[in-house]
Amino acid sequence: MPRVCVIGSANVDHAVTVPWLPRPGETVTGGDLLRDLGGKGANQAVAARRLGAEVRMLGGVGADPAGEEIRARLAALGIGVDGLVTVPSPTGAALIVVDAAGANQIAVAPGANHALTVEALAAHAEAIAWADVVVCQLEIPLPVVRWALGEARRRGVETLLNPAPARELDDGLLRLTRYLTPNEGEAGRLSGTEVTGLETARKAGERLVERGAAVVIVTLGSAGALVCASERPVHYPAFPVTAVDTTAAGDAFTGALAVGVAAGGTLEQALPLANAAAALTCTQPGAQASLPDRAAVERYLRELRG
């Protein structure tokens, strides 16, 4: 079974669906409030687990009921949570607004995620050595991300960094990254090239390869994903779905990619799995509640292939 270690964030999500996303100062009345568990790290851990990987997660939660709930829910899915440590801050929370087309706005109170330290996780470094792939995002402090990727490289473990939310990264951190998975906005900010389509995505991806990342996979929403490495770029089109809520679609993509890489597959094998998982996630509301299992993804791929 492929082994994935995720070092990242865990939140409680509160989402409401509205007819349109509110403009500054505008109040929009919507539907019911949906409470789910989220955070990019926890979402990617759940995505990888549901797609067939053995998963361990390192991160931080508060000494509160929300932290206990997150730990219990992940453990119930079979995810190793010994490295989900308790820190002296409240568990993180996210407020999500979703419009009728599935687009969203998200505001996060990071809480325990930003209180996480290298010292708090150092005792759990064995989970990194255990893994085939280590996955990080940017909802936790950069020193923790750098430590995790550095430990993985030192131990010969593949590294995958989802640079979200967008923030400045130095070339040294990019050189620790085997697979970098930015969306259009993140790729644009990191490369200094605005991404508006495949050609600008290629320029941004190639710039990030020049800066140190071995393989850059720019996710382009309904336009699919573009893989940039030392060879020519390869475009993988998205699969058609009617979007209900795009929350966690990027996390489904990253989690599925991690599973494919951890299983020893090629990118040609892993990218359809990742695109299909992301597409199916868009068809359901919520974050972790929307992440598909392996059977659903394989059934969807068979249907597409006729």
**Beta pairing class for 3-7 and 133-136:** parallel
Quick one: tokens of 178? Answer: 């085997």
d(CA 145, CA 291): 24
Quick one: tokens of 81? Answer: 């949570």
Q: Write down the H helix ranges in the chain.
A: 40-50, 65-76, 112-115, 118-121, 126-130, 142-154, 171-175, 184-191, 198-211, 249-262, 267-281, 294-305
Which of these, 300, 277, 302, 305, lies nearest to 51 by C-alpha position? 277
**Active-site residue 251, yes or no?**
yes
d(CA 250, CA 137): 11
Given 82, 132, 251, 293, the catalytic residue: 251
Three-state SS for 276?
helix
> Which pairs from 203-210 meet CB under 8 Å and 24+ separation?
205/233, 206/233, 208/174, 208/180, 208/182
8, 140 Cβ separation under 8 angstroms: yes
* Residue the block writes with tokens 């409470």: 35
Active site residues: 251
